[in-house]
Amino acid sequence: MLACSESPALVTFRGGFVVDWAIVRRLWAIEARGCSFQLEDGGRFRVVPPDRLTADDVAFLRARRDEARQAIAYQADDSHLFTA
């Protein structure tokens, strides 16, 4: 479950993780096209298959790389789903 914070541009997830709504929307849009995200060593991530990314997606992810990686890592770590 997620709740919108007082700032309309931020989303607070369970466990207190906060991310910009633009990141969440873009990652969901990319997933909706059939892509998935893979975390790699060194704090990087890959989008598979990469040919489904638009030039705008690539520019957005490069500009917001750290925030996107944190959101992807949060989603990959499902421990927050089991806390009350």
What's the pLDDT at 75?
80
Give the pair of three-digit tokens for residue 22: 């633009």
Cα–Cα distance, 26 to 2 (Å, whole number): 16
Listed residue (62, 70, 82, 59) closest to 24, CA to CA: 70
pLDDT tens for the chain, 84 residues: list them: 455 444 469 988 888 889 999 999 999 999 999 999 999 988 789 999 999 999 999 999 999 999 999 999 888 766 555 555
The DSSP code for 83 is -
pTM of model > 0.85: no
**pLDDT at 1 (0 to 100):** 46
In this prediction, residue 16 carries a pLDDT of 85
> What is the domain partition of the chain in residue ranges?
2-78
- DSSP-assigned states of every residue in 18-44: EEEHHHHHHHHHHHHTT-EEEEEGGGE
